[in-house]
C-alpha cells in the first residue's frame, strides 16, 4: 500500500486571518473558500505541495480542553525546505514571528526553525536531508 500526505486540518477562530497569513507570508494559493461549508467558514490554502484545510468554529462547538469531542491537537507541522536560513530571512521580511531562529538542532543535526503563526499555531521549517 502506497500512502502520501494529503492535508493538515486546522480549526481556527478567524479563518480569514489564517487564510491571509498563509497566502501572504508563505505565498500560498487559495484552492477553496466557502463562508458556510457544513456550518462554518472553510478555506483550503496550498503552500508548495502541502494543503492546509482551515475551518472556523461551528456555532454549536466549544473546542478545547473541556470538550469531550475535542482531542489533543497537533504540536506543530513542518514544511520541508532547501535552505532554512535563507527562507527565514524572506519570511521575516514578510512579518513572520520566529520562536526559534535557524539552528542545527533538529533530529540528526538538521537545520530547523520555528514560527508562531496566527492563533498561536507553531510552524517548523525543516531543511531537507542532503
CATH number at residue 113: 3.10.180.10
Is residue 53 domain-resident?
yes
Is residue 113 domain-resident?
yes
Q: Do 40 and 82 have their domain in common?
A: no
Is residue 1 domain-resident?
no
Is residue 98 domain-resident?
yes
Q: Do 53 and 103 have their domain in common?
A: no
Q: Do 121 and 86 have their domain in common?
A: yes
What pLDDT is stored for residue 66 in this prediction? 59
Look up residue 64 and give its DSSP letter. S
What pLDDT is stored for residue 62 in this prediction? 75
* Alpha carbon distance 111, 125 (integer Å): 8
Q: Residue 113's domain spans which residues? A: 75-130
Q: Which single residue is written with the C-alpha cell 514544511?
A: 79
Is residue 119 domain-resident?
yes
**Mind listing the pLDDT tens digit for each residue in 13-57?**
899 999 999 999 999 999 999 999 999 999 999 999 999 999 998
SS3 content of the chain, % helix, strand, coil (to 5): 20, 40, 40
Is residue 70 domain-resident?
no
Confidence of residue 69 (pLDDT cuts 50, 70, 90): low
Q: Which of 78, 79, 57 is nearest to 69 (CA)?
A: 57
- Whole-prediction pTM: 0.85
In the chain, how many domains are there? Answer: 2
Is residue 69 domain-resident?
no
Amino acid at each position: 500500500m502506497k500512502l502520501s500526505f494529503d492535508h493538515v486540518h486546522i480549526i481556527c477562530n478567524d479563518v480569514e486571518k489564517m487564510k491571509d497569513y498563509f497566502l501572504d507570508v508563505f505565498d500560498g494559493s487559495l484552492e477553496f473558500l466557502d463562508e458556510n461549508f457544513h456550518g462554518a467558514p472553510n478555506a483550503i490554502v496550498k503552500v508548495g505541495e502541502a494543503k492546509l484545510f482551515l475551518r472556523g468554529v461551528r456555532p454549536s462547538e466549544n473546542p478545547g480542553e473541556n470538550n469531550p469531542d475535542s482531542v489533543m491537537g497537533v504540536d506543530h507541522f513542518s514544511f520541508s525546505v532547501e535552505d532554512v536560513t535563507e527562507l527565514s530571512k524572506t519570511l521575516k521580511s514578510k512579518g513572520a514571528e520566529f520562536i526559534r531562529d535557524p539552528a542545527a538542532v533538529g533530529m540528526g543535526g538538521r537545520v530547523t526553525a520555528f514560527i508562531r503563526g496566527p492563533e498561536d499555531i507553531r510552524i517548523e521549517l525543516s531543511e531537507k536531508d542532503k
